[in-house]
Chains A and B, each alone.
Chain A
Amino acid sequence: MAKKYVGQRVKRTEDPRLIKGLAHYVDDITLPGMLHVAFVRSVYAHARITGIDTSAALAAPGVVAVYTGADVADKVGPVPCAGALPDLKVPDHRVLAKDKVYFMGHPIAVVVAKDRYAARDAAELVMVDYEELPVVTDVEDAARGGTVIHDGFSDNIAYRLTSGEGDIDAAFAAADRTVKQRVLHRRLAPIAMEPRGVLARYLPGEEELTLWSSTQIPHLMRTQVALMIGIPENKLRVITPEVGGGFGSKLNVYAEEALLGWISMQLNKPVKWIETRRENMQATIHGRGQVGDVEIAFKNDGTLTGLRYSVFADMGAYHQLLTPAIPTLTGLMLSGAYKIPAIQMNITACFTNKMATDAYRGAGRPEATYIVERALDLVAADLSMDPAEVRRRNFPAPNEFPFHTATGLDYDSGDYEAALDKAQQIAGYAKLREEQKKAREEGRLIGIGVSTYVEICALGPSQAMPAGGWESATVRIEPTGKVTVLTGASPHGQGQETSFAQIAADELGVSINDVTVIHGDTGVVQYGIGTFGSRATAVGGTAVYVAIQKLKEKADKIAAHMLKADASRMSFEGGKYSLEKAAAAAAGTGTSDPVVPVGEAPAGALPEPQTDGRSSVSIQEIALAAHIARDLPPDTEPGLSATYFFEPKNFTFPFGTHIAVVEVDRETGDIKFLRYVAVDDCGKVINPLLVDGQVHGGIVQSIGQAMFEEVVYNEDGQLITGTLMDYAVPRASHVPNFELDRTETPSPVNPLGVKGVGEAGTIGATPAIVGAIVDALSPFGVKHLDMPIRPENVWRIINGH
């Protein structure tokens, strides 16, 4: 099959509406009679609610209703948690607090009014009396005992888990050397530029509820919200219009989503809530939040023998959808890109009086990569070896794949050394090291950081997932020859409207302009899982691909019937089934066009394709014939459509090498990037332009984590970084020019050979950046620094403070 689109830098089909300002995000949708909602949220991190007075709010102009926890406690079910772990403590997480509040920003009451200004004014009038309770913010304090946050639990420990394979004690006993390091992964705020938002419309006659929500998982949300508010799932429709970024923060089912649906059902009116940025900082999930100790055992030649990571994981006050599962993903990836015979992870997951943590781009895997890569740097420092060399020594060879790790995974394919070689070559690694040496002699502090990461993507086989790890696609060719792709994935910036159209156009031999990809509407699209975990292309794209093969099996038969030929004699190229090889070859360079040019054909009966005496027929003519259905092969269903649910047999394991070069200012501690080289291997590439964009964006979120970002609560549980005035997200002038390249090791897990790239940058880059800064400061004896590394930290080291 000639590839016209796949592998090309195809401009995105979703862009015109976005660059013209004509796209529709949730807040851009207005319905007649629509009411607006504002939340009253806790100003304390931990308190008993001793009284709520809503009378002034109810009397305020434009106010339609005010609801408190007491009004909804037995009406709306708990906020769901899908992370199933042995002996997991699951607090009863209600959509509005009733007796107690557990974190700053905890929703207490909701005001419904005629416009958002009136709702906000009235929310100010809801009077809440609190009795403050002792606050637990530090995860290790939480583990130690003292104040127990949730009534009915004996302690704050959500769960403990030990995982890994191999004899860890023997591995450490037999090692020549070991190093140990405490490592912090601060809480981060995902900061999708579009905050969350929900518009709910209940139609009492039809008994149908529609939720427009800024989510990554429309179908999973539909199921969960239906259960929460007790509406039949087939009477609930979830639509995700344009979604302004998610990064995991919208891979969730939130209290507000269910509550808005319930309110609309009470009032029989559309109701809208758009999160403010302050609410987003307080009440949208945070990422990371681990404090751990890593120990690594190795031989004098650098061969790794064992790794142990004991971690306190900060759950926050409640479990959101995947909160407890995130640290277990860290455990899965603790082998990194290396042969480590014995690995052990010990998790102590604790409740604190803070917002829940959950999936933020990478979701547990950046923590793992960071730990392993930091540990490798420590090994290199301990042995006075080059950090790249230590890594190289411990890679599995390409012929060792599938490679089984002591964390229980089987890596699909890889050539880690090839990516490292390429990155070193682009960076001019040997020369860089010489320049670094020379610079040091001149008193300049230059550092080089290397990260050879591997990540787990394409989540994933259903065995390993809480609610299905497959993805779905329907592909149909309409009577006019236009191709419609319905995907269960829910892209929100990744560009799958384009990349899936590339796959469909190539496989069907049609123009990409004749393909439309539809997603994010449970009323239109078959059940799907959604977009997260770098899965959409590897799992959802494969579903599209296989659905097309199914569709073509049927088209094959119809083509043979139309051409009165034996199906086995025909070939398909360029959108045409041909009898002769020459015709097929000629067609191979072109694409097929619709039979019924829209706007030109007469209305009424469609022209039936005439194939008498012809030696070829286009797939679009077949689609028309299949719909007119007057002359189909015996026992053939009319129409030309196929649906496929793709269940991957394994995860995929993309990998790569990132090299960061930084210089620090001796006087001020300022950190400046000199170079940034990234060689990523995400398997086969559908659209290099989109892959580059994913890598750039991921690296910059890593720069944020490494150098700027940290969600800070004070000891009273007050959120100090409550706005973008305090929480620093990288800006254009903070980032270097990226030098990207790729190696391409196809995945055997899916027929497209793709692995996924959405999280690569966020996973691979932080250790390279931190490694570079640590390396720059190594003349001062520095071996490790915790993120975010700010100029003051650097200054203190250089000046011995």
Chain B
Amino acid sequence: MKKTINLNVNGVAHTHEVEPRLLLVHYLREVLELTGTHVGCETSLCGACTVMIDGQAVKSCTMFAVQAEGASITTIEGFAKNGELHPVQEGFWERHGLQCGYCTPGMIVTAAQLLDRNAAPSREEICHGLDGNICRCTGYQHIIEAVEYAAKKSKI
């Protein structure tokens, strides 16, 4: 019944035997102990579980770990490099883009995807790009400003 999966998470190769029904988010959180990726809604609507899979932001609660066979995954824990924050992380800190912090990892991953595809997004494009992520604390304004900060910062 169990399947072997091989995948790379934050630059580290992993091989595990998993039940096919094991959700990717549970694999990341419970097998790899990378608990920065959160579960918020279970119906693929809140985006708290977003991770980057082969360069694409994906909701890891709507994916079985077996589907990630061979994939290269970056979770929030892999965003800061050599002690330096990713520009989006920096933006969230500078612009107070988070309060309780629960949606934040998913927001940061999604925002990074947005900037990968559109280096200078308008406010409307930022909002559209964050359609898949719910924040109940910030009212989004500081999140939007955080993404704008990161866009400017990335250009330098």
Contact = CB atoms under 8 A, between A and B. Distances in A.
B31 to A, nearest CB: 11
A247 B136 contact: yes
A625 to B, nearest CB: 37
Contacts of B130: 731-733
A582 interface: no
B126 to A, nearest CB: 7
B37 interface: yes
A111 interface: no
Interface in A17-50: 18-25, 27-28, 30
Contacts of A245: 99-100, 102, 136-137
Contact of B140 (A14, A244, A723, A735): A735
Interface string A755-790: 000000100000000000000000000000000000
Interface string B62-99: 00000000000001110110000100010011101011
Contact of B102 (A25, A274, A278): A25
A410 to B, nearest CB: 32
A413 B29 CA distance: 50
Contact of B93 (A12, A25, A700, A738): A12
Contacts of A696: 138-142
A193 B102 contact: yes
A725 B30 CA distance: 27
A25 B46 CA distance: 17
B42 A692 contact: no
B106 to A, nearest CB: 9
Contact of B46 (A243, A693, A697, A724): A724
Interface in A495-528: 495
A194 B100 contact: yes
A153 interface: no
A277 B139 contact: no
A492 interface: yes
B134 interface: yes
A493 B43 contact: no
Interface in A243-262: 243-245, 247
A280 to B, nearest CB: 9
Nearest to A278: B42
A537 B19 CA distance: 48
Given A16-B93, A19-B93, A693 B138 contact: yes
Given A20-B80, A193-B136, A493 B99 contact: yes
> Interface SS of chain A: helix, strand, loop or mixed?
loop
A11 B96 contact: yes
Given A117-B19, A193-B46, A244-B101, A697 B37 contact: no
Given A20-B76, A21-B75, A693 B142 contact: yes
Given A191-B136, A693-B138, A724-B43, A733 B93 contact: no
Nearest to A14: B101
Contacts of A698: 139
A738 B139 contact: yes
B137 A697 contact: yes
A11 B94 CA distance: 6
A735 B100 contact: no
B156 to A, nearest CB: 19
A192 interface: yes
Contacts of A192: 100, 102, 136
A21 B77 contact: yes
Contact of B139 (A494, A733, A761): A761
A276 B36 contact: no
Contact of B101 (A247, A493, A690): A493
B14 to A, nearest CB: 17
Interface in B84-130: 85, 89, 92-94, 96, 98-105, 108, 123-124, 126-128, 130
A384 to B, nearest CB: 35
Contact of B35 (A28, A116, A689, A737): A28
A60 B46 CA distance: 33
Interface in A689-708: 689-690, 692-693, 695-701
A242 interface: yes
Contacts of B108: 19
A18 B142 CA distance: 16
A119 B16 CA distance: 22
B41 A277 contact: yes
B99 A697 contact: yes
A20 B85 CA distance: 8
A53 interface: no
A737 B130 CA distance: 15
Nearest to A726: B43
A19 B143 contact: no
13 contacts: A12-B93, A18-B98, A18-B101, A19-B104, A21-B36, A25-B35, A244-B102, A692-B142, A696-B138, A696-B142, A697-B138, A731-B134, A732-B140
Given A277-B43, A697-B136, 20 more contacts: A15-B98, A16-B93, A18-B101, A19-B85, A20-B36, A21-B75, A30-B30, A117-B22, A193-B38, A194-B38, A242-B102, A245-B137, A689-B96, A693-B96, A693-B99, A723-B41, A732-B130, A735-B140, A737-B123, A737-B141
Interface of B: 19, 21-22, 26, 29-30, 33-43, 45-46, 48, 75-77, 79-80, 85, 89, 92-94, 96, 98-105, 108, 123-124, 126-128, 130-131, 133-144
